[in-house]
Homo-oligomer: A and B are copies of this chain.
């Protein structure tokens, strides 16, 4: 179909526990990109137990990780609806991925893991409908600007639409104008007025006993 000098074959598939080491390293790369490594404390053990419980819940009804892999050889066609999704990625020239060995796919076949997306259901009371919230969407540096982020976000949007959900939401840093442009180009609205509030760490632990912080009488 294409006369490009080179191509790889991208596949977006549901993750399982074998992907945990790569997921952890992708999350760390994302923390580096966002200048937030001081907040990074994910371990493989915690990722396994929180993302891949036994038995696994149905995808998209709980925390769901999709892995983006690239294959040097053509892949089977996409499923009619749902995952995996596969797609040919044309390249101007063969691409050197300096992390290819470190990110070799646990599934073999010469595939490399190039990114991931993590999403889970949220809920809009105004719509009275669930939606999907995209906590992370990440492509390794060597593979950016090739339509892979768009492939992943489009896949999540298509899944939400097929499930009859009301919206897909995620967050962006206000200094990341490249990302803002990309998201707006995909049809998203960046909401100017809302701010995220977070209670975490010691401030959260202070509520553990169930009493209110200022010690007001209860009962």
Contacts and interface: CB of A to CB of B under 8 A. Distances in A.
A135 B133 CA distance: 12
This chain's copy number in the assembly:
2
The 5 closest A-B pairs by CB, nearest first: A187-B203, A42-B128, A157-B207, A46-B128, A167-B200
A141 interface: no
Given A161-B208, A190-B197, 10 more contacts: A27-B125, A122-B122, A122-B133, A157-B199, A157-B207, A168-B200, A188-B199, A189-B203, A191-B197, A191-B198
A174 B195 contact: yes
A99 B173 CA distance: 42
A47 interface: yes
Interface string A184-217: 0011111111111111110111111111110011
A41 interface: yes
A50 B130 contact: yes
A121 interface: yes
A183 interface: yes
Contacts of A162: 208, 210
B172 A195 contact: yes
Contacts of A131: 200
Contacts of A150: 212
Contacts of A213: 154, 186-187
A18 to B, nearest CB: 17
Contacts of A157: 199, 204, 207
Interface in A111-148: 118, 120-131, 133, 135-136, 147
Contacts of A172: 194-195, 197
A218 B63 contact: no
A6 interface: no
